[in-house]
Amino acid sequence: MNMIVAVDKNWGIGAKNNMPWYIPEDMKFFKNMTINKTVVMGRITFLSFPKQLPLKNRHNIILTRDENFKVNGATTVNGVLTLIELVKELPSEDVFIIGGQSIYQTFEKYCKKAYITKIDNTYKVDTYFPNLDLLDHWKIDKIHDTKFTNDGTPFTVYEYINTQI
Ligand SMILES: NC(=O)c1ccc[n+]([C@@H]2O[C@H](COP(=O)([O-])OP(=O)(O)OC[C@H]3O[C@@H](n4cnc5c(N)ncnc54)[C@H](OP(=O)(O)O)[C@@H]3O)[C@@H](O)[C@H]2O)c1
């Protein structure tokens, strides 16, 4: 499976259950990468979606420990092992871990690839992605061309590979 995320200079990813930035170009990248694939998220990230609806044209899987939490058009899963069992028949490259902090932390070791949009700025955040540069098993495989937000902030997609998988 893969991870996909946008981080600031300190690997910050969220504030008050939301994204601290709005970068339509990066949202397009996220959509292109995940369309018609399986996306796995924590309940908090799901609740941050507009109108609390699953992402269109993707198989949405929501992790929650609440067995009563159900969502139309999404699969809810109550534990890590159940999730792994559920996705093991799918091609690994078609499964994307899409956040948030707790889900990235839990699934980092199961992922072969990570698509990290690094935003060259710092924001007020309260949630983080693991700093892959401090983890020996993650290596940078490819760096995409740098783009710029409307206010001129550079952002660049880095592809990391997990050398342990
Ligand atoms: N920058 C980015 O690309 C990006 C992407 C995604 C999210 N985010 C941000 O990340 C933040 C949210 O992160 P978060 O860590 O607070 O929340 P989260 O990871 O989205 O969701 C946490 C919830 O997932 C469930 N969960 C976690 N581990 C589980 C397990 N082992 N088994 C079953 N359920 C489990 C629990 O739900 P229950 O409480 O229901 O049991 C837990 O409360 C937000 O600010 C969001 O905007 C940023």
- Quick: pLDDT tens for 85-134: 999 999 999 999 999 999 999 999 999 999 999 999 999 999 999 999 99
Q: Which residue from 3, 18, 45 has its CB within 8 A of the most atoms of ligand 1, so it is best to mutate?
A: 45
Per domain, the residue ranges of the chain are: 2-162
Query: If you average pLDDT over residues 79-88, what whole number do you get?
Result: 96
Cα of 45 vs centre of ligand 1, distance in Å, is 5
pLDDT tens-digit series, residues 133-155: 999 999 999 999 999 999 999 99
Ligand 1 pocket (Cβ < 6 Å) reads 5-6, 13-14, 17-19, 41-45, 48, 63-66, 69, 78-80, 98-103, 106, 127
| Contact call for residues 54 and 71 (beta carbons, < 8 A) | yes
How much is the pLDDT for 89?
Answer: 92
Backbone angles phi, psi at 118, to 5 degrees: -95, 120
Looking at CATH, the fold of the domain delimited by 2-162 is given as: Dihydrofolate Reductase, subunit A (3.40.430)
Contacts of 107 (CB under 8 A, 6+ apart): 1, 3, 40, 80, 97
